[in-house]
Amino acid sequence: MLLPAWVLRLPLIQPVWHNIAMASNKGLIVYFDGPDGVGKTEQLKLAAEALRIKSLDVCETRSVGGTPIGELLRQASLSDNQRPVGTDLHIALACQHALAVDVLERRQNGQIVLIDRSPLSIIAYQVAGDGLDPDRGYAAADELLGLVEPDLIIVYTAGPATLEERRHRRNHQAGFDYFENKASDYHQKTAEGFVAAASHFGASVLDAEAAADKIQAETMALIEAKLRS
């Protein structure tokens, strides 16, 4: 007895459905980074909302914070206490090592983890901004990236005038921030540090001066490409 043609075609279409199912359950770790005032946190939240609309499991967190011990260290980091640059480096390392345990498990379980700030911030703030020895800073960032092995790092950039205006507006709405309250030349150095770090570590760079919907579309295109790969 001859089988119907549609039955004979079943083996050909099954792998397609299998791939779609696998893609929908694929875990990712995505870092969002850039200088203060660039809008990375807003883009992270927009991405999380867009992914949840697609019924994907999303976790939002932050690299300095993100765990109970990390949040305590974050408070110390943002407080108005003068300290050696090495202290900020060790705070970043401690926070991100603690967070790695959590986000690696989440990715393994199929979650899409969106992280506010990345190890590249060490290059921007501690190396470029505060004068930490570059070899030490790059080694620390490389260690953390090797630990997490993120699927994507997005760095947003904007011009000095735009960043300063946004920081000024935000500082009137939020509490004290040790880093955001530093002088303009410090922020110029950190912005340059992000560009250098993005180039060194192969991050995806997006222009945050563009229209908000264009930035969001470019952000989602990067994430969706990783989901399909």
With beta carbons less than 8 A apart as the criterion, state whether 59 and 47 touch. no
Condensed to tens digits (0 to 9), the pLDDT of residues 19-76 reads 433 455 789 999 999 999 899 999 999 999 999 999 999 999 999 999 999 999 988 8
Q: What angle do CA 160, 132, 102 make, to 5 degrees?
A: 85
CA distance 146 to 201: 11
**228: enclosing H helix or E strand:** helix 212-228
Condensed to tens digits (0 to 9), the pLDDT of residues 107-127 reads 999 999 999 999 999 999 999
How many Å separate Cα 117 from the centre of its chain? 5
Count of CB atoms situated within 10 Å of the CB of 91:
18
Output the pLDDT for position 83.
85
Contacts of 107 (CB under 8 A, 6+ apart): 27, 28, 29, 113, 151
With beta carbons less than 8 A apart as the criterion, state whether 116 and 40 touch. yes
Residue 100 DSSP label:
H
Output the pLDDT for position 21.
35
Highest average pLDDT, of 82-96, 135-149, 166-180, comes from 135-149
pTM for this prediction: 0.84
With beta carbons less than 8 A apart as the criterion, state whether 38 and 165 touch. no
Output the pLDDT for position 170.
65
Q: Domain 27-228: which CATH class?
A: alpha beta
CA distance 75 to 97: 17
Which amino acid does the sequence have at 1?
A: M
Output the pLDDT for position 132.
97
How many Å separate Cα 50 from the centre of its chain? 16
Report the percent of the chain where pLDDT is more than 70.
84
Please state the domain extents for the chain. 27-228
How many Å separate Cα 87 from the centre of its chain? 22
